[in-house]
Amino acid sequence: METFADRLIKAIEKKQNPSIVGLDPRLEQIPSFIKEEMIKKYGKTFEAAAESIIFFNKKIIDAVKDIVPAVKPQIAFYEKYLAPGIRAFKETVDYAKSKGLIVIEDGKRNDIGSTAQAYSEAHLGKVDLFGEKVSAFDVDCITVNPYLGIDGIAPFIADVKKHGKGIFVLVKTSNPSSGDFQDLETKGKKIYEVVADLVNKWNQDTIGNSGYGSVGAVVGATYPEEAVILRKLMPKSIFLVPGYGAQGGGAKDTIPCFNRDGYGAVINSSREIIFAYEKQKREADFDKAAKEAAVKMKDDLNNALKEAGIRAW
Amino acid sequence: METFADRLIKAIEKKQNPSIVGLDPRLEQIPSFIKEEMIKKYGKTFEAAAESIIFFNKKIIDAVKDIVPAVKPQIAFYEKYLAPGIRAFKETVDYAKSKGLIVIEDGKRNDIGSTAQAYSEAHLGKVDLFGEKVSAFDVDCITVNPYLGIDGIAPFIADVKKHGKGIFVLVKTSNPSSGDFQDLETKGKKIYEVVADLVNKWNQDTIGNSGYGSVGAVVGATYPEEAVILRKLMPKSIFLVPGYGAQGGGAKDTIPCFNRDGYGAVINSSREIIFAYEKQKREADFDKAAKEAAVKMKDDLNNALKEAGIRAW
């Protein structure tokens, strides 16, 4: 079975693109013509919200499927619409996978051992359904929060190994207050460095043919200095890098997240890609606007990598 | 509007009971006669899992509603069954509330600001549905993970104030490896103490008539020594205390979580209450077995509080 990291690296090579698209379908920003049609069919209901999201996401996926290696749906924006929202999430995952995209779920799940196992079975592994083992969300990878320590992470790592899946552990997040706890110092090390050392350790026996392992790290593009340190501490982990674009990180800020081989990082952008149509007032062409924005991001990142002397595709 | 803390304290007074029941409906442990009936109706599907959970939970809620002030559904055990599972979660929440119980969702949600807001709207506040503000999960309270710092918590606190809701912030969790990060020392303080100081600060302007605020803390019964310190650092926060029962914490271990007024803590037990029927082989009477176990826990805790000279109901 191919590992998650190997599949992801292969997809990055194929698309010649380390950038991914965040599927955060904020209902307020979905084009009106889609919502009006769904309200006509289903009324102002959670079903109409779910159908709007599914329609929107499928068009976005069709638009970017040949450009990016992966998509990152943020489950908060689906959970908002209860059961219909979760159905929209699952349909989005299945559709993206059917189009050859890798799906990285942004869920930041975490709990104590036996409950972490329930989350892992739900999102990465197999669920016991009356004695039969069946897939539930079946995403390729999920983000997880490390605050509960190893026994909250271990069940996910078991499923990473068993099912060729991946996790990205929150190490240094992109938000302004990420330092409240992550930057605290303990015995001369920052907390994010302590987490990084453990991620590096957990990653070791998941390393595949690509040289990378499937226990990765979330490292915000908004903290390039910290990224320099973290890249050294976790040389064989892939970084999932939020914060590019709407959150203020530029292409240059993402460079420290890459290894000198040009791999080791996937850079996410959500709003600036999927809602690119807004600034351009191209509602009917929202998918084309997203495609153009995705191409622009790809070029922006590859130019920065070229300028940094790391890689020229 | 009554605050969450005031409602919870009032419910504890009314039931003369600081213990709550965790609704973690592990499908494997739900009585066979329920599952067989649902399989007959729906086949071996997620719907059958959801219907089994709803049937089971309603019976448990009916059995314990006059004994405990609150229930704590753990959403991981519902999420496992995709959209039908979320429907089962929502029906459980609604049913428990209709029976006068307070609902504390164990979700451990966390994200950066704008996404934390989406989670908060979904679980505590109101969701924008095509321009109308509607409730989604509408639980009374949710557990949250602090690793991302204040801007991941602030949106929840805003909804706590606006909608009379509550949060419990993970401070010192009950699992064996909780010390991996929570116990690290920074400037002479443990990380859990740093989190506690912030919880105490965040709690200040949510304090109601009961003298308690609605920004509480998760403090495991498995760490009674740490609880002594944490009780002092967060005098006006309610503690949500997991780890009693199946996880190894005894009634005496929970005592440091209480204030001398006999309040300030709710003690959770899940498996030992809802699946009490298993050891006694009373499948048909599973709800009665749960009721007896809930009464036993109430007595156990109140006896320990009495022995400690804190309170005698």
Q: Mind telling me how many Å the CA of A312 is from chain B's nearest CA?
A: 33
- The whole-number average pLDDT for the span A174-196 is 95
Phi, psi of A19 (to 5 degrees): -100, 150
Structure tokens at A264: 């080791």
Residue of B nearest to A131 (CA): B28
Closest by Cβ to B177, choosing from A132, A151, A185: A151
Phi, psi of B24 (to 5 degrees): -110, 80
More confident site: A245 or B265 = B265
- The whole-number average pLDDT for the span A199-212 is 97
Q: Mind telling me how many Å the CA of B65 is from chain A's nearest CA?
A: 25
Residue A313: what pLDDT? 72
Q: Which of residues 260-299 of B touch A (CB under 8 A)?
A: none
pLDDT tens sequence across B35-54:
999 999 999 999 999 999 99
Phi, psi of A227 (to 5 degrees): -60, -35
Structure tokens at B114: 């704008």
Mutation site, A78, A186, A191, A268, interface B, largest B CB count within 10 A: A186
Q: Whats the size of chain B, residue-wise? A: 313
Closest by Cβ to A181, choosing from B28, B122, B146: B146
For the CA atoms of B183, B184, B188, B190, the dihedral, rounded to the nearest 10 degrees, stands at: -30
Are B196 and B171 in contact by the 8 Å Cβ rule? The answer is yes
Residues of B in contact with A182 (CB under 8 A): 147, 149
- Best CA proximity match to A258, nearest among A70, A19, A10: A19
Q: Mind telling me how many Å the CA of B138 is from chain A's nearest CA?
A: 11
Closest by Cβ to B115, choosing from A76, A146, A149: A76
Residue A164: what pLDDT? 98
Cα–Cα dist B90/B175, whole Å: 27
Cα–Cα dist B25/B38, whole Å: 15
More confident site: B248 or B123 = B123
Say which residues have a Cβ less than 8 Å from residue B218's Cβ, sequence separation at least 6: B143, B168, B169, B170, B171, B172, B173, B239, B240, B241, B242
Say which residues have a Cβ less than 8 Å from residue A94's Cβ, sequence separation at least 6: none
Q: Mind telling me how many Å the CA of A82 is from chain B's nearest CA?
A: 6
Are A51 and A41 in contact by the 8 Å Cβ rule? The answer is yes
Are B249 and B174 in contact by the 8 Å Cβ rule? The answer is yes
Quickly state the pLDDT bin for B249 (edges 50, 70, 90). confident
B3 sits in the region (left: phi over 0; alpha: psi -120 to 50; else beta) called: beta
Structure tokens at A305: 């990598």
Cβ of B143 under 8 Å from any chain A Cβ?
no
Q: Is A76 close to B179, i.e. CB distance below 8 A?
A: no
Q: Is B49 close to A130, i.e. CB distance below 8 A?
A: yes
Active-site positions of B?
108
Residue of B nearest to A193 (CA): B181
Closest by Cβ to A145, choosing from B24, B118, B145: B145
Are B51 and B41 in contact by the 8 Å Cβ rule? The answer is yes
Quickly state the pLDDT bin for B170 (edges 50, 70, 90). very high
Look up the ipTM and state it: 0.97
Are B251 and B275 in contact by the 8 Å Cβ rule? The answer is no
Cβ of B118 under 8 Å from any chain A Cβ?
yes
Q: Is A129 close to B45, i.e. CB distance below 8 A?
A: yes
Phi, psi of B164 (to 5 degrees): 65, 40
Residues of A in contact with B147 (CB under 8 A): 145-147, 170, 173, 181-182
Phi, psi of B2 (to 5 degrees): -70, 140
Q: Mind telling me how many Å the CA of A299 is from chain B's nearest CA?
A: 27
Give Cα B163 distance to the centre of its chain: 18
Are A18 and A12 in contact by the 8 Å Cβ rule? The answer is yes
Between chain A and chain B, how many beta carbons pairs sit less than 8 Å apart? 213
% of chain B at pLDDT higher than 90: 96
- The whole-number average pLDDT for the span A203-227 is 96
Structure tokens at B167: 């949060």
Closest by Cβ to A110, choosing from B80, B108, B180: B108
B11 sits in the region (left: phi over 0; alpha: psi -120 to 50; else beta) called: alpha
Cβ of B152 under 8 Å from any chain A Cβ?
yes
Cβ of A136 under 8 Å from any chain B Cβ?
yes
Among residues A108, A161, A189, A252, which one is catalytic? A108
Are B172 and B223 in contact by the 8 Å Cβ rule? The answer is yes
pLDDT tens sequence across A21-50:
999 999 999 999 999 999 999 999 999 999
Residue A249: what pLDDT? 82
The full set of domains in chain B, from first to last, is 4-307 (3.20.20.70)
Cα–Cα dist A119/B145, whole Å: 15
Work out the mean pLDDT of chain B and round it to a whole number. 96
Residue A201, CA distances (Å) to A190, A233, B185 in order:
17, 10, 21
Residue A197: what pLDDT? 97
* Residue A306 among the catalytic residues: no
Residues of A in contact with B175 (CB under 8 A): 112-113, 148-149, 151-152
Say which residues have a Cβ less than 8 Å from residue A89's Cβ, sequence separation at least 6: A73, A75, A78, A79, A137
Q: Is B148 close to A130, i.e. CB distance below 8 A?
A: no
- The whole-number average pLDDT for the span B175-202 is 95
pLDDT tens sequence across A107-136:
999 999 999 999 999 999 999 999 999 999
Residues of A in contact with B137 (CB under 8 A): 82
Q: Mind telling me how many Å the CA of A122 is from chain B's nearest CA?
A: 4
Q: Could you write out the three-class secondary structure of chain B?
A: CCCHHHHHHHHHHHHCCCEEEEECCCHHHCCHHHHHHHHHHHCCCHHHHHHHHHHHHHHHHHHHCCCCCEEEEECHHHHCCHHHHHHHHHHHHHHHHHCCCEEEEEEEECCCHHHHHHHHHHHCCEEEECCEEEECCCCCEEEECCCCCHHHHHHHHHHHHHHCCEEEEEEECCCHHHHHHHCCEECCEEHHHHHHHHHHHHHHHHCCCCCCEEEEEEECCCCHHHHHHHHHHCCCEEEEECCECCCCECHHHHHHHCCCCCCCEEEEECHHHHCCHHHHCCHHHHHHHHHHHHHHHHHHHHHHHHHCCCCCC
Are A171 and A219 in contact by the 8 Å Cβ rule? The answer is yes
Q: Mind telling me how many Å the CA of A176 is from chain B's nearest CA?
A: 7
For the CA atoms of A79, A81, A86, A87, the dihedral, rounded to the nearest 10 degrees, stands at: -170
Q: Is A175 close to B82, i.e. CB distance below 8 A?
A: no
Residue A236: what pLDDT? 98
Cβ of B225 under 8 Å from any chain A Cβ?
no
Say which residues have a Cβ less than 8 Å from residue A281's Cβ, sequence separation at least 6: none
Cβ of A146 under 8 Å from any chain B Cβ?
yes
Cβ of A28 under 8 Å from any chain B Cβ?
yes
Quickly state the pLDDT bin for A213 (edges 50, 70, 90). very high
Residue of B nearest to A49 (CA): B129
Residue B245: what pLDDT? 83
- The whole-number average pLDDT for the span B232-249 is 92
Q: Is A83 close to B83, i.e. CB distance below 8 A?
A: yes
Quickly state the pLDDT bin for A247 (edges 50, 70, 90). confident
